[in-house]
Chains A and B, each alone.
Chain A
Amino acid sequence: MIEFKNIKKSFDNKPVLHGIDGVFEPGRTNLIIGTSGTGKSVLLKCMVGLLEPDEGSVLYDDRDFTHASRNVRREIRRDIGMLFQGAALFDSKTVEQNVMFPLDVLTEMPKDEKLDRVNFVLKRVGLENVNHLMPSEISGGMKKRVGIARAIVNSSKYLYCDEPNSGLDPMTAILIDNLIKEITEEFDITTVVVTHDMNSVMEIGDYIIYMYKGSKLWEGDSSEILGTSVPELKEFIYSNKLVQALKDGENPES
């Protein structure tokens, strides 16, 4: 479980986050949604420790991450996997080396065991016979899959995904969404996805936080979101013509 309390963050005296609270349960796909520039990625970076919040704290299974010593933070971080927007694969390493990297650096596992684990997670994300390809030789969707494989290879308890669908075609985006949801449920991971893709919201949103101008404006699940009365959220949702058509009960092809 990930709990964050009163997270505040400013850049050059300009507030970006105005005290955000929330609880993300394990085995659920938790979404942070909102338009660009609302502070979604800043919140995510505060949660994983890439940015330090000005106030507030983040707790991983009741372990205070924000105010912890360097060693404790290090231990907690080793339970965190993250899929970055551009996958952030290491250019100089093959797919296999990329996925094996956390095991190489963070564990004492024998080589054979590491290779088995790498092949297992690569198979799980739907990639086989790509072990020796370089990141530059694979497609964007495959990079995202490799990124997911790398994030879960060390049996992470917490999985963060920053805009997992950016730059992907709609079909591949749905595949990635479903893969994230399946992995979350299968391994009982606490997953947090930052997105502004309404397809993701409807497909995988077990728990959703809507952010607007650095504040949490709404929370709920995908079955509740279409019936929201929050004007800003309505505007966000129905800016998508497909969702608008679904709401109006029209045939989107007409």
Chain B
Amino acid sequence: MRGIGNYFIFLGNLFIKREAFKTYIKQIIDECIKVGIDSIVIVTIVSTFIGAVTCIQTAYNLVSPLIPRYVISLVVRDMTLLELAPTITAIVFAGKVGSNIAGELGTMKISEQVDALEVMGINSVSFLGLPKIVACLIMYPMLVILAGFLAIMGGYVAGTVTNVVTPQDYIYGIRADFNEFNVTFALIKSFVFAFLVASISSYKGYKTTGGALEVGQSSTSAVTNSCIAILVADYLLAQLLL
């Protein structure tokens, strides 16, 4: 409970007595590159294969001749939008970006770089944490859109190459019974998950004390706590919004 309380105090400090917004612009751009552009490769690989595997496994389970084949792509689409693109990408994002944020801030903390900012009269929490959170909020939804597109494309390639579904059936299934709210839901989830990963990882990094061993522990803790928070938030959002 104490940790959760400290986390909320940390969130409050992000916005209290921060520097002028123009101070953050360059930092936010740099962070967007680190958080977003540098994550494209891993997100591409993971989402393409997840889409492909979803397609093959759905086809494997749909053995009844009464079920039309386009249902395969319909399932791929809805699973991708509702769960795979925002949530699985968030887990990958927590592993890559979350550990990076915690490691970077943890190292800055133990090497007195954070103290150096404080002595200068700069609110180190907002100066270091806010650009990372804003960058994640900007870039993660874009990564989710990319992941969703690539997962559906991965399903298409896997399904048509292995002949479990024809291209026509796949395209038909993608368009059939489409509910636009699923896209909105995926984007809402992406903002929530981005905030959770960035803020929890920043908090864990910022609270690091000790040496190299503790920096490693903070990184690990950032990833595990982010993943738990993502799954809890995933459930709550599904309950609230679906």
Chain A residues with CB under 8 Å of chain B are: 48-50, 70-71, 73-78, 80-82, 84-86, 88-91, 102, 104-106, 154, 160
Contacts and interface: CB of A to CB of B under 8 A. Distances in A.
B120 A102 contact: yes
Interface residues of B, number: 16
Given A82-B116, A88-B116, A90-B108, 7 more contacts: A49-B119, A50-B118, A80-B121, A82-B115, A82-B119, A90-B116, A154-B120
Contacts, number: 57
Contacts of A88: 111-113, 115-116
A86 B108 CA distance: 12
B132 to A, nearest CB: 13
Contacts of A104: 23
B116 A105 contact: no
A78 B120 contact: yes
Interface string B10-31: 0000000101000100000000
Contact of A74 (B17, B116, B127): B17
A105 B17 contact: no
A118 B188 CA distance: 46
8 contacts: A50-B119, A70-B17, A82-B116, A84-B112, A88-B112, A90-B113, A91-B107, A106-B121
B119 A77 contact: yes
A120 to B, nearest CB: 19
B12 to A, nearest CB: 13
Contacts of A73: 121
Given A86-B112, A105-B19, A75 B119 contact: no
A81 B118 CA distance: 11
A78 B121 contact: yes
Given A75-B121, A106-B120, A84 B17 contact: no
A77 B111 contact: no
B136 to A, nearest CB: 18
Contacts of A70: 17
B112 A80 contact: no
Interface string B112-147: 110110111110000100000000000000000000
A186 B115 CA distance: 27
